[in-house]
Amino acid sequence: MCKNSVGQTVQKTTSVAVKAAATPPAKPAFSADKTTVQSGGNVLFSWSSPGASSCVLNPGNYTANGSTGSKLVRNLTRTTTFSLVCSNNAGNATANPVTITVTQTPPPPADPIITSFKAVPTAITSGATSTLSWTASNVVAGGCSLTPSPLSSTSASGQWVTPRLTVSTSYTLTCKNAANKLTSKSLSVIVANQPAPPPPAPQPPTTPPSESGTNDDAIVTSSGGGTPVNNSQVNDSSRGGLVTLDPTNVTDSEKVAHIVKVEYYSGETLIQTVTKPPFALNTDIMEPGEYTITERVYYDDGSESELTQTITIEAKEDQAAAMLKLAGIILGTSAAVLGVVSGIGFLTRRFWLPTVRPHIAWLNEFLNKREMAASFNHNLGSTTPYAPPADGFHNSNGPQPPGSNWHL
C-alpha cells in the first residue's frame, strides 16, 4: 500500500506459490532372480525406485524410463558385478550392487531372498488403497505368492494395488527357489488407526500343471486351452505370437479364474486389452523393435498388479519377401517350359525337316507339270490368258503361278 502527501492511498495484491523442494529418488531396491549361474546362463534383474524418472543398469549402459523395470541379461560367461543408478531432475540414487557368480558346472540352488517388501502408504483412511511392491532373488519364475490376494503365484518382482480396504490387513509374501525352499516376509496396512491382525501363514506359490510346462520354460501353455505363449522372463525376444511378462497369468488356473482383464502399455500408450484367456500380448500387431511393456492385471476383487519389462520384437518374413520367392518359382518354371519348347524346335529342324523335304520337292514337280498341262490345253481352244484355279494350292505367299516352287 502506498500513500501520497494528502493522505490518499493505493494498494495491489499478488500471490507467491511456494513449491516443495524437489528431492532425489529413493534408493533403488535392486535384485536378480538368481545370483549364481552356469556359464552361458541368463539373469533377470529387477528394480524399483519411487520418484525416479529413469534408471541405468551397468555394465551395458542399459537405460529404462520410469521408477520400476526389469532387464534380462543373456549369456553370462564370467562373474560380474552389476550396478544401478536411478535419477530424476533433482538428483540420483545408487542401489547396492549385485554380483552374479558364474560357474562352469551347474550350481546348487541358492537360498531364496526377499530383498524388498513394502506398502505405500502403510496407513490409509477407510475405503482407500495401498500399493504393495516387492523384489526377490534366487527365485524360480512365478515363484512368489501374496496372501491374502488373487496372486496365488506371481513373479519375483512386481507390485499390487490392494482393493479398497475398510479394515486393517496384514499380508505375507512367500517365495521359493528351484529346490522348493521357502522364505517369507509380512507387512500390514493400517486402516483408520485400527490394530493390525496377525500376518497370515506362508502359502507356497501354485505349481502349474505338467501340461502347461514350468514357469522357467521359454514357452508355456495356457492351463485351459493349451495355447503356446512366449515367456519373456526366459526369452525376452519374440518373432510374433503371444507373449507374457508373468507366466503365472497363463499357467496358474487358480489365478486366471480371478483375472477380469489385462492391459498392455508401451510406455504410457495402451496397445492392447485382453479380456479372456490366454492373458497374453499379441505381438503380431506390433512393428519390429524394442519396447518397454507394462502388463497391468485387473482382478475380480478390485485389486490390480503391474509388471514392467523390456522386450524385443524381431522382424518376420513379410508378404513381399514371400511374393518374391513365388515370383522366382514362376520364372524358374517358365524358363523350364521355354527350354522344352526350344528343344522341340531344334529337334524339328534337325530330324523332321530333312525327312519331309524330298517329298515336298516331288510335290512341287508334280504340281508344276499339272499347271503346265492345264495351260497347254487351255491355250489350244481359247485366246483368254490362263489363270490358276480359284481353289488352287497356296503357300505362305498366296496362290502360286505355274512353275513356282513350294517351300517349308
Mean pLDDT in residue range 132-152? 95
**For 196-232, what is each residue's pLDDT tens digit?**
999 999 999 998 877 777 888 888 887 666 789 998 8
Per the listing, cell 490366454 goes with 278
pLDDT > 90 in the chain, percent: 58
**251, 143, 106, 214 alpha-carbon torsion, rounded to 10°:** -10
Quick check: is 404 in a domain?
Answer: yes
Secondary structure of residue 358 in the 3-state scheme? helix
* pTM of the complete model: 0.61
**For 81-135, what is each residue's pLDDT tens digit?**
999 999 999 999 999 999 999 988 777 889 999 999 999 999 999 999 999 999 9
Lowest pLDDT segment from 58-72, 246-260, 379-393: 379-393
Quick check: is 300 in a domain?
Answer: no
Is the model's pLDDT at 172 over the cut of 80? yes
Quick check: is 76 in a domain?
Answer: yes
Query: What is d(CA 81, CA 59) in angstroms, rounded to the nearest whole number?
Result: 8
**CATH of residue 42:** 2.60.40.10
User: Which of 107, 127, 153 is a domain's end point?
Assistant: 107
The set of residues, in sequence order, having a beta carbon less than 8 Å from that of 119 and lying 6+ positions away, is 130, 131, 132, 171, 187, 188, 189
Is the model's pLDDT at 319 over the cut of 70? no
Check residues 214 and 173 and name the one with the higher pLDDT: 173
Sign of CA dihedral 82, 88, 91, 93: negative
What pLDDT, on the 0 to 100 scale, is given for residue 239? 84
Quick check: is 209 in a domain?
Answer: no
Quick check: is 180 in a domain?
Answer: no
- As for how many domains the chain has, the answer is 2
Average pLDDT, the chain: 82
Check residues 172 and 40 and name the one with the higher pLDDT: 172
Is the model's pLDDT at 402 over the cut of 90? no
Query: What is d(CA 309, CA 297) in angstroms, rounded to the nearest whole number?
Result: 14
Is the model's pLDDT at 11 over the cut of 70? yes
Check residues 29 and 224 and name the one with the higher pLDDT: 29
User: Which of 90, 107, 124 is a domain's end point?
Assistant: 107
Is the model's pLDDT at 375 over the cut of 80? no
Give the model's confidence band at 358: pLDDT under 50 very low, under 70 low, under 90 confident, else very high: low
Mean pLDDT in residue range 309-320? 76
Is the model's pLDDT at 39 over the cut of 70? yes
Mean pLDDT in residue range 11-31? 76
**For 333-352, what is each residue's pLDDT tens digit?**
555 545 554 555 555 565 55
Lowest pLDDT segment from 12-16, 180-184, 304-308: 12-16
Quick check: is 48 in a domain?
Answer: yes
Is the model's pLDDT at 180 over the cut of 60? yes
Distances (CA, A) of 154 to 8, 215, 268, 300, 337: 74, 10, 23, 17, 62
Give the model's confidence band at 385: pLDDT under 50 very low, under 70 low, under 90 confident, else very high: very low
Quick check: is 307 in a domain?
Answer: no
What pLDDT, on the 0 to 100 scale, is given for residue 63? 92
pLDDT > 70 in the chain, percent: 73
Domain range for 51 is: 24-107
Query: What is d(CA 219, CA 227) in angstroms, rounded to the nearest whole number?
Result: 10
Quick check: is 49 in a domain?
Answer: yes
Mean pLDDT in residue range 239-265? 93
Query: What is d(CA 223, CA 168) in angstroms, rounded to the nearest whole number?
Result: 34
Is the model's pLDDT at 372 over the cut of 90? no
Lowest pLDDT segment from 64-73, 150-159, 264-273, 315-324: 315-324
User: Which of 107, 129, 151 is a domain's end point?
Assistant: 107
